[in-house]
Structure 1
Amino acid sequence: MALEIERKFLLNNDNWRPLVHKSTRIAQGYLNAEPERTVRVRVKGDSGFLTIKGKNDGISRLEFEYPIPVADALDLLKLCPNVLDKTRHLVNIDGHTFEIDEFHGLNDGLIVAEIELESETASYPQPDWLGDEVSGDARYYNSALSEKPFSSW
């Protein structure tokens, strides 16, 4: 069983930008975005993925991700009503990786940082650029952003 434990934050400033060691453009859409389960297709760089996620239980949920041919992922994205466009920046601090998603298109202006943890009570670095936690705010779920973009709030 794959369990994802993740915290999500808004950002206070751009002090994270000089710390980025890798950036990748991502297109992702949702074949199903029901709260009980989401089925996501993603093109990340030159790779394709199909991901199934269960319902959130706090900051934890089941997650199963499978690589698929990028051509299949591109075709599956055509079945998605809305496709998110974002750049994912990776920042490592004290052995932890922050994934910072900078959204484009209808979600332009939204930047969030996510960190995956070993447990819900695990400690993690809290750099000055890390702002308010929005882990439990469904508006910031990518599946929600594909249906109700940041620009419409």
Structure 2
Amino acid sequence: MAIEIERKFLVVGDGWRDQVEDEIRLVQGYLTEDARTTVRVRIRGETAYLTIKGATQGISRLEFEYPIPVADAETLLHELAVSPLIEKIRYRVRHGGHLWELDVFAGANAGLVLAELELETVDEVFARPDWLGSEVSDDPRYFNVNLAQWPYGNWS
């Protein structure tokens, strides 16, 4: 069984930029809006995936991901996904023995920068980089599925 354990934080400043290992453009959309299950289509560079996630329990949830043809992903995103699509550049940065993913959002969510850290256990200890802001793991506004429905650019 695949379980995702993830913590999510706001990012403050640009101190992380000189530590970037790589970056990739992501476009994703959601085919369901159910609180129990989400179905996501994502194009990550030149590859595409269909991902099924269960409801979040604390900072963990079930996650299953399957590769699909990019042409199928394009059709699903533009014909069936909730609008607007999530657009972002994902940067990978190492700090304290962990690999962080920093998402700089574009489009309807421009201005939002989030850092995510996937963990092995819910109580795993990690070093906090100085560019790490407030934790938003438990704030549903920052879930990507909700950013598709209520974009950051529309928040007051």
Q: Secondary structure at the match of 2:33?
A: strand
**What is the number of equivalent residue pairs in this alignment?**
153
Greater CA deviation, 94-103 or 59-68? 94-103
> Following the alignment from structure 1 to structure 2, what is the Cα–Cα distance between the partners of residues 29 and 73?
9
1:59 aligned partner: 59
**CA positional deviation for 1:11:** 1.1
Q: Secondary structure at the match of 2:123?
A: coil
**CA positional deviation for 1:46:** 0.1
> Following the alignment from structure 1 to structure 2, what is the Cα–Cα distance between the partners of residues 34 and 95?
35
**CA positional deviation for 1:124:** 1.1
Normalising by structure 2, report the TM-score.
0.96
Of 97, 120, 127, which aligns to 2:99? 97
Q: Deviations over 1:68-104 (max 9, x none)?
A: 1111111111111211111000001233110100000
**CA positional deviation for 1:65:** 0.6
> Following the alignment from structure 2 to structure 1, what is the Cα–Cα distance between the partners of residues 115 and 77?
24
**CA positional deviation for 1:4:** 0.2
Normalising by structure 1, report the TM-score.
0.98
* Within-5 A mapping of 1:1-153: 1-78=1-78, 79-82=80-83, 83-153=85-155
**CA positional deviation for 1:120:** 0.7
> Following the alignment from structure 2 to structure 1, what is the Cα–Cα distance between the partners of residues 70 and 61?
26
Q: Please list every run of 5 or more consecutive structure 2 residues that lacks an aligned counterpart in the other structure.
A: none
Q: Please list every run of 5 or more consecutive structure 1 residues that lacks an aligned counterpart in the other structure.
A: none
Percent identity between matched residues is 52
Q: Secondary structure at the match of 1:18?
A: helix
C-alpha root-mean-square deviation of aligned residues, in Å?
0.8
Q: Secondary structure at the match of 2:90?
A: strand
> Following the alignment from structure 1 to structure 2, what is the Cα–Cα distance between the partners of residues 115 and 87?
16
Structure 1: 4+ residue segments shifted above 3 A: none
Q: Secondary structure at the match of 1:127?
A: coil
